[in-house]
Structures are given as structure tokens and as C-alpha cells.
């Protein structure tokens, strides 16, 4: 927490999940928009995604990313946002 990283054109997102019930969806969001969705169907899973950023977009204010996990019963968990840029 509190680290500062230089802006890059690609951002590597990775999530490892240990849930009490099967995970129906793992979603990566950027600035509130869905970037990637995975549907693993297991209690322990991981997913990765590389976000290739369009040059010039969001350079003035940066981006925020978050991961949302939805279990088979509809319960969900959302990580704290990660700000980049």
C-alpha cells in the first residue's frame, strides 16, 4: 500500500480466490467498466488478465482497478480499488 509505480501501456491483473462455495464469476473492472470475466466453477481458483491501455486515454487522471468475485449463491466480494497513474 502507498507504492507509486510509473505508468505503463499494459497492466497485469491477477487474482487468487479461496471461497467457501464455488465461484461462478471473477470480474476485473477498470474505472467501473468490465474488462474481463472468468467463470471457474470451483472454490479455489485463480485468473489473470493483461489490460493493454490505449495511449493517451486516462493519462490526466489515471485508472482504478478492482476485482469482483461472485459465488454460486449470489454472494459477492469486492477488493479495494487499486489506483494506477
Domain ranges of the chain: 10-84
- Neighbouring CB atoms inside 10 A of 13's CB total 18
User: What's the rounded Cα separation, in Å, for the pair 59 and 82?
Assistant: 16
Q: Give the global pTM.
A: 0.84
- As given in the structure block, the three cell numbers for residue 69 are 468475485
User: What's the rounded Cα separation, in Å, for the pair 34 and 73?
Assistant: 21
- CATH 2.60.40: does it fit domain 10-84? yes
pLDDT number for residue 9: 81
12-58 tens-digit pLDDT: 999 999 999 999 999 999 999 999 999 999 999 999 999 998 766 54
Amino acid at each position: 500500500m502507498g507504492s507509486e509505480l510509473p505508468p505503463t501501456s499494459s497492466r497485469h491483473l491477477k487474482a487468487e480466490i479461496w471461497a467457501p462455495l464455488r465461484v461462478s464469476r471473477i470480474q476485473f473492472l477498470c474505472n467501473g467498466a468490465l474488462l474481463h470475466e472468468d467463470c471457474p466453477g470451483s472454490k479455489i481458483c485463480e485468473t489473470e488478465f493483461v489490460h493493454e491501455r490505449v495511449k493517451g486515454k486516462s493519462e490526466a487522471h489515471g485508472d482504478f482497478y478492482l476485482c469482483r468475485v461472485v459465488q454460486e449463491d449470489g454472494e459477492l466480494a469486492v477488493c479495494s480499488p487499486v489506483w494506477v497513474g
